Amino acid sequence: MKVVGLTGGIATGKSTVSKHLSSSLHIPIVDADLIARSVVEKGQPALKQIAATFGPDVILPDGTLNREKLGSLVFKDAEARKKLNRITHPHIRMEMLRQLLWVFLSGSRVLVMDTPLLLESGINKWVHVVVVVYCPDEIQKDRLMKRDNSTAESASQRIASQMPIENKRKLADIVIDNSGRVEDTRDQVNQVFARITPSVISTALAWCVFAGPAAFVWVVLTNGQPIPNSAGQNPLIGVLVALLGNGGNGQQQQSPLLAGILSFLGVDVNAQNQQQQQQPVPTQQQPEVQQVGQAPVSYAGAVGSNSQPQSAPPAAISLQPLQPITPPQQQQVPHTTQNTTPTQSELSSMSTAMARLWSLDTNRMSVGAPGSNASVILDTQGGKRVYENGDVASRPLFAHVDAGIFKDRPTYSAFYGLLDNYVAEAGTAETFSENEKSEMRRFVDACCETDVMTYLHSYLVAKNVSPPELNKFKNQLWSIWFDTYKRVIAGDSSAFEHCFVGETRNGEVVGFHNWINFFVQEKKGKVNYLGYILPRRRGPASGTEHVLSLQLEWNGQVKPVSTMFIGVSPEFELALYTMVFLASDRDEESAVLDETEVRIKMHRFTNRDGARIGSCYPESS
């Protein structure tokens, strides 16, 4: 049976496509929207969790969910959406899998998983073909306003709460562009599913092989047995492993079916082994799209529109095999444009090596005051002492930032994708979806393609503190920055979250030392710049600083002083702090960067996994 993942954006027409598949083509649909509604019905465990998390106001007097109230809380707040998804997704996935297995046992040749968060939740890993129903942003917004009789601002907020439709389009195997007539859209859907539906013979063979194990799992799920987060917590998972896997050399070898089922449910049967190895899986690049037929296939159609077809870019169709193909492991060689070999003087002097990192940071942005042509323009306004209260800056700190950096520079784009992956409050354990883990891998991969990180790797290898193999070095970076540890409770913090994103604890802001995150939060209205910090031996802030100490208010909580680099690339900060952490045993290292003496403060601690970064940030006079 071929499993097709169907997704899109709000008001792009996905639901109408799904209805056509069901009513006209008689293809079974697993509808995540319907399942999502069912898991929060009155009396369901998920509803109780939602009430406990978001407060009693989200429950109506009759005990049902106040969807309007909950929607107003989550549409504008990425962190609130993340909390909601953590509650509902396990219940949704369980029911989706149960329905999928039933369709398979019924002998169907194809199944459509209609899932709005197909890509965001990582479920796309467990389908054979990803279909995205697409329309341009302007049409999407116009449809949403007409459908819901909403304002332009409200429609924009709802669209902004989702992954951009252009991003989904890039990740699709099949793109259906609905900017024309309903009839055209239906025709293209018919054509696509005629091509991708497997033969009766291949379906029958797969059924014969997997029907028994699938039936067992379906019975287990139908009887409501709980699926824990770790295999060792429930003998039921042990039964699954025994039935669907086969042991060898003392290690459990998972069958593809078992791996798919357990991963889909979020069950990690190798959790302890993975924690010991601490090896992230390298990101696999999207395969080149294979065209169906001799010429590119172009679709023009619409769902919910009677307008004439518009010219649209070709929608590429890629048919993936039933069994995913894993490419052979290769040693990745980063692209470099400069000499990245450390000199003997740099190996002997960390300050010299730090200055070399600065010179290699070709992704650094120019910084200037209002009226300049810099890529980053700072409006520093008034200064204040650390102990002084009040706001001496009525305007935002960032008067302008070249927005193209988030599209044109891979490390900036990858870094931006990480900023909404964390819960700010220390004391809440962090959990990450497969999509969020992939974002972390993409960031590490992107950084390791730069001259800055190539130099760091060579430097650390020469210092005998990092492995020479690139993949092992990436694993080391992952462990340092993304492995979670205890700040209040186990797994509630990490070096990356604290240093780059920031946290709150006992009513105080801690960490938060990155300029890109400050800019993003300021644009969202969540950070208030309260002024730069005095005294400054170099005089009043000029707006051209690459290091700035400032006071900020984040989510209603004030941090008296936070120091951060301004304009530097994400890979530079990651490399600089990693260099100090691994190659120095001191709490402070100094260097002259941009004609300014900068001190890097490193706060370490040790837990059962070894040395960890508690915090790291720059200081200057």
For the chain, give the mean pLDDT.
Answer: 79
- Least confident piece of the model among 210-224, 310-324, 441-455, 590-604: 310-324
Kindly tell me if the per-residue pLDDT of 232 is higher than 50: no
How do residues 20-75 score in pLDDT, each as one tens digit? Answer: 998 889 999 998 888 888 888 888 888 988 988 888 888 988 888 888 888 888 77
> What's the token pair of residue 137?
């942003």
- Paired tokens of 376: 């980053």
538 confidence band (pLDDT: 50, 70, 90) = low
The model's pLDDT over 138-162, given as tens digits with 9 standing for 90+, comes to: 898 888 898 888 888 888 888 887 8
> Which tokens go with 463?
């210092």
Mean per-residue pLDDT, 282-289:
37
Distances (CA, A) of 565 to 179, 203, 464, 516, 620: 45, 58, 28, 10, 10
The pair of three-digit structure tokens given for residue 140, joined into one six-digit string? 């999407």
Distance CA 492, CA 74 (A): 22
The answer to whether residues 123 and 113 touch, using CB atoms and an 8 Å cutoff, is yes
Alpha carbon separation from 593 to 358, 380, 568 (Å, rounded): 7, 21, 11
Say which range, 129-143, 527-541, 560-574, has the weakest mean pLDDT: 527-541
pLDDT tops 70 at residue 196? yes
Catalytic residues: 498, 513, 559
pLDDT at 239: 46
Cβ–Cβ < 8 Å for 368, 376: yes
The pLDDT assigned to 264 comes to 54
Mean pLDDT of 590-596: 88
Instruction: Please report the pLDDT score of residue 563 as a whole number.
Output: 94
Q: What is the pLDDT of residue 219?
A: 63
Instruction: Note the pLDDT of residue 1.
Output: 83
Reported as a single tens digit per residue, the pLDDT across 563-578 is: 999 999 999 999 999 9
Tens-place pLDDT, residues 362-380: 999 999 999 989 999 999 9
Which structure tokens are listed for 258?
A: 């078992």
- Kindly state the tokens that stand for 229: 């987060």
* Distance between CA atoms of residues 367 and 313, nearest Å: 38
The answer, yes or no, to whether residue 312 has pLDDT greater than 50, is no
CA distance 3 to 572: 42
DSSP secondary structure of 410-461:
HHHHHHHTTTTSS-SBTTS-----HHHHHHHHHHHHHHTTSHHHHHHHHHHH
Taken as a whole, the chain contains a residue count of 621
Question: Model pTM?
Answer: 0.51
The pLDDT assigned to 152 comes to: 86
**Torsion 612-610-608-276 (CA) sign:** positive
CA dist., res. 258 & res. 385, Å (int)? 60
Tokens standing for residue 1 = 């049976």
Question: What is the pLDDT confidence band of residue 528, given thresholds at 50, 70 and 90?
Answer: very high
Q: DSSP states of 463-497 as a string? A: TTSS-SSHHHHHHHHHHHHHS-B-SSSTTSB-HHI
Cα gap 540→26, rounded to integer Å? 71
Domain ranges of the chain: 2-200, 344-620
Residue 187 in tokens: 């025709």
Report the C-alpha gap between 500 and 498 in whole angstroms: 6
- Which of residues 530 and 237 earns the better pLDDT score? 530
Tell me the DSSP string of 370-423: TTS--SEEE----EE-TT--S----S-SEEEE-TTHHHH-HHHHHHHTTTTSS-
Token pair of 230 as six digits: 């770790």
Sheet holding 376-378, edge to edge: 367-368, 376-378, 398-401
Strand, coil or helix: 74: helix
Q: What is the CATH number of domain 2-200?
A: 3.40.50.300
For residue 399, give the amino acid letter: A
